[in-house]
Amino acid sequence: MRKYKVLTVCGTGIATSTVAAEKTKEMLKARGLDVEVVEAKASEVASKVQVLNPDVIVHTTPVSDSAAPGIKKFRGLQFLTGIGMDKLADEIADYLKSLE
């Protein structure tokens, strides 16, 4: 199985993307997926997308399509509030598995 690449994005790249990154890693691992997670702040998205070429983006601040064309995006607020966290992780996992 291949390793999937996830980019987590928040406003400053200091607080929420860090938490979202950890949760994403933990919850996708629990779903049997091997993931590499990289954090970015909103202003870095376009350049990080080019370097990393992520399979998905998990964001807590809006990401424009022009900054990350053609990449599936998930709002990651659930990883911070805990509400609907499992459902979100299932959705991301299902999407990644569908890429095989």
Partner 1 sequence: MIKFSFDKRTVKARVKTNSHEEILRQLATMLYQAGYVAESFIDAIISREAIFPTGLPTEGYGVAIPHTDPHHVKEAMIAIATLEKPVNFKIMGNPDEEIEVTIVFMLAMRDSSSQLQLLSNLMSVIQDIGLLKRIYASESEEELLAILNDAIDL
Transcribe 24-57 into DSSP letters: HHHHHHHTT--EEEEEEEGGGHHHHHHHH--SEE
| DSSP 8-state class, residue 69 | T
Q: Is 45 exposed, middle or buried (CB count within 10 Å of its CB: 0-12, 13-18, 19+)? A: buried
| # residues contacting partner 1 (CB under 8 A) | 24
Span 45-84, contacts to partner 1 by CB under 8 A: 59-62, 75-77, 80-83
Among 4, 6, 13, 49, binds partner 1 (CB under 8 A): 13
CB of 14 or CB of 99, closer to partner 1: 14
Span 21-50, contacts to partner 1 by CB under 8 A: 22, 39, 42
The residues binding partner 1 (CB under 8 A) are 10-19, 22, 39, 42, 59-62, 75-77, 80-83
